[in-house]
Amino acid sequence: MAYEGITFRGSRSGQIHESRFLRQNLKPDEVAIKVTHSGICGTDLHFIHADMVLGHEGIGIVQEIGENCKALRIGDRVGWGYTYWSCGRCSACLTGHESYCPTAGKYGAHHLDQGSFGNLAIKSEQWVFKIPDGIESKYAAPLLCAGATVFSPMIEFLKPTDRVGIIGVGGLGHLAIQFAAKMGCDVIALSSTELKREDAINLGAREFYATDGVADYFTLNVTKPLDSLIITTGSENLDLANYYKLLKPVATVIPLTISFEPMLLPTIPTIANGIKIVGTTPSGILIMIQTLEFAERNNIRPIIQEFPMTEAGIMEAMEKLRSGEIRYRAVLSWQLASEST
Ligand SMILES: [Zn+2]
Ligand SMILES: [Zn+2]
């Protein structure tokens, strides 16, 4: 059976182009998914100049399943994220860190002919996840990358007794505040200006500090020191030594935003205070499932702006993401595309 879908690609000029995607047959472990929604991640902006289909926060309905598929059925509502495939045999895979598998298939490097910006995706069942009934598709999409990105290090490195600083109230940050608060942590939001104070508090932050124009972060008068610091803004220009003034000794710093520039590490304060800098991405299959289940059970939902799944809709959303106007995650929808034509 032939599968043909519409896809949306980046291009050298940065213009989004509609394209086609053709596959003759499903492999035994693959499922064909009719895409209904896709979130837009900052990483999609990184690849907008590449000749590849964009999108890795996909949601849709299973249309067909390969002969060896065991977990999914036709008609299931499912989603997928950044990782497409892992070997299942290496030390990373065998310890539940499948997304660090040296041979993992990932967005931007593999399957460049398809993504979640499109109406059809063919995926290995291993990395496709059922969406809990309590989460609407448009809200589920951002959980597959942004949600899992913030929740994965929290499960591994945070305790409910921690005071957690979250730098940035955006696509990642507004979810990080919710997940950390629902884990029981004492959440402190740090943002450049006062603009997002009310949103941050409504999402679960107990304290909010604006850092623009503050030369010495001692003078922010943060009430008590922090056990950990989650960075959801670009870390390359961050004045980490200044943020260290807010931390307890032996605190954990977790940079999450992808940046191509090196991070400046203040060597002596890092060593002298035993600071742990932790690199992390959504670590494996289990955390993808746990992110969805925890979000459903604790009523965690992204705040979204919807755009039609069309060339124009994607361009508009990308421009708004680039200029920092999205509150707080853009989601593309085929339903809106059909309503706009
Ligand atoms: Zn992403
Ligand atoms: Zn592996």
Measured in angstroms, how far is the CA atom of residue 215 from the centroid of ligand 2? 45
Measured in angstroms, how far is the CA atom of residue 219 from the centroid of ligand 1? 35
Q: Tokens representing 265?
A: 């590490």
Measured in angstroms, how far is the CA atom of residue 56 from the centroid of ligand 1? 6
**Is 38 in contact with 107 (CB distance < 8 Å)?**
no
**Is 328 in contact with 172 (CB distance < 8 Å)?**
no
Measured in angstroms, how far is the CA atom of residue 272 from the centroid of ligand 1? 34
**Is 217 in contact with 190 (CB distance < 8 Å)?**
no
> Which residues 6+ apart lie within 8 Å of 268 measured at CB?
none
Q: Which ligand is nearest to the CA of 171?
A: 1
| pTM for this entry | 0.96
Q: Which ligand is nearest to the CA of 330?
A: 1
Q: What is the pLDDT along the chain (341 residues), one digit of tens a residue?
A: 899 999 999 999 999 999 999 999 999 999 999 999 999 999 999 999 999 999 999 999 999 999 999 999 999 999 999 999 999 999 999 999 999 999 999 999 988 999 999 999 999 999 999 999 999 999 999 999 999 999 999 999 999 999 999 999 999 999 999 999 999 999 999 999 999 999 999 999 999 999 999 999 999 999 999 999 999 997 778 889 999 999 999 999 999 988 888 888 899 999 999 999 999 998 899 999 999 999 999 999 999 999 999 999 999 999 999 999 999 999 999 999 988 76
Q: Tokens representing 195?
A: 């603009």
Q: Which ligand is nearest to the CA of 101?
A: 2
Measured in angstroms, how far is the CA atom of residue 154 from the centroid of ligand 2? 23
Measured in angstroms, how far is the CA atom of residue 90 from the centroid of ligand 2? 4
**Is 104 in contact with 82 (CB distance < 8 Å)?**
no
Measured in angstroms, how far is the CA atom of residue 220 from the centroid of ligand 1? 32
Measured in angstroms, how far is the CA atom of residue 211 from the centroid of ligand 1? 26
Distance, CA of 7 to CA of 38 (rounded, Å)? 12
**Angle, CA 199 vertex, CA 153 and CA 54 arms, to 5°:** 55
Q: Which residue has the tokens 């309590």?
A: 134
Q: Which ligand is nearest to the CA of 102?
A: 2
Q: Which ligand is nearest to the CA of 89?
A: 2
- Local structure of 320: helix, strand or coil: helix
Q: Which ligand is nearest to the CA of 149?
A: 1
Measured in angstroms, how far is the CA atom of residue 312 from the centroid of ligand 1? 21
**Is 328 in contact with 139 (CB distance < 8 Å)?**
no
Measured in angstroms, how far is the CA atom of residue 99 from the centroid of ligand 2? 8
Measured in angstroms, how far is the CA atom of residue 93 from the centroid of ligand 2? 4
